[in-house]
Amino acid sequence: MTTTDIATRVYNHAFKLDPIIRSLLDTDVYKLLMLQTIWQEDPHVPVTFSVINRSSRVSLARVIDEGELRAQLDHARTVGLTKKERIWLAGNTFYGKERLFSPEFLAWLGEYRLPEYDLRVEEGQFRIDFSGPWAAVTLWEIPVLSIISELRSRAAMKGIGRFELDVLYARAKAKLWEKVVRLNALPDLRIADFGTRRRHSFLWHRWCVEAMKEGLGEKFTGTSNILHAMELDIEAIGTNGHELPMVRATMCEDDQELLQVPYRVLESWQRAYEGNLLIVLPDTFGTTSFLRRAPEWVARWSGFRIDSKDPIEGGEEIVAWWKAMGQDPRDKLLIFSDGLDIGDIERAWRHFSGRVHLGFGWGTLLTNDLRDCAPVKNPGLDPISLVCKVTRANGRPTVKLSDNLEKASGPPSLIERYQDVFGGGVLARKALAV
pLDDT above 90 (res 433): no
pTM as predicted = 0.95
User: Region 278-299: what's the mean pLDDT?
Assistant: 96
Q: How would residue 430 be classed by pLDDT, with cut points 50, 70 and 90?
A: confident
123-137 pLDDT, tens per residue?
999 999 999 999 999
* The predicted structure's pLDDT at residue 16: 59
Q: Is 39 helix (H, G, I), strand (E, B) or coil?
A: helix
pLDDT above 60 (res 15): no
251-272 pLDDT, tens per residue?
999 999 999 999 999 999 999 9
* The predicted structure's pLDDT at residue 41: 96
Q: How would residue 3 be classed by pLDDT, with cut points 50, 70 and 90?
A: low
363-382 core/surface letters (b: 16 or more CB in 10 A; e: else) = bbbbbbbbbebbeeebebbb
Please give the Cα distance from 418 to 396 (Å, whole number).
14
Inter-residue contact 309 to 407 (CB < 8 Å): no
Least confident of 57-61, 128-132, 146-150, 236-240: 236-240
Q: How would residue 303 be classed by pLDDT, with cut points 50, 70 and 90?
A: very high
pLDDT above 70 (res 426): no
* The predicted structure's pLDDT at residue 78: 97
Q: Is 197 helix (H, G, I), strand (E, B) or coil?
A: coil
Please give the Cα distance from 168 to 173 (Å, whole number).
9
**What is the maximal distance between C-alpha atoms in the chain?**
62
Please give the Cα distance from 316 to 5 (Å, whole number).
44
* The predicted structure's pLDDT at residue 275: 85
* The predicted structure's pLDDT at residue 423: 87
Residue whose C-alpha is closest to residue 235's, from 35, 96, 36: 96
Please give the Cα distance from 384 to 399 (Å, whole number).
22
CB-CB neighbours of 127 under 10 Å:
15
Inter-residue contact 307 to 337 (CB < 8 Å): yes
Please give the Cα distance from 380 to 60 (Å, whole number).
10
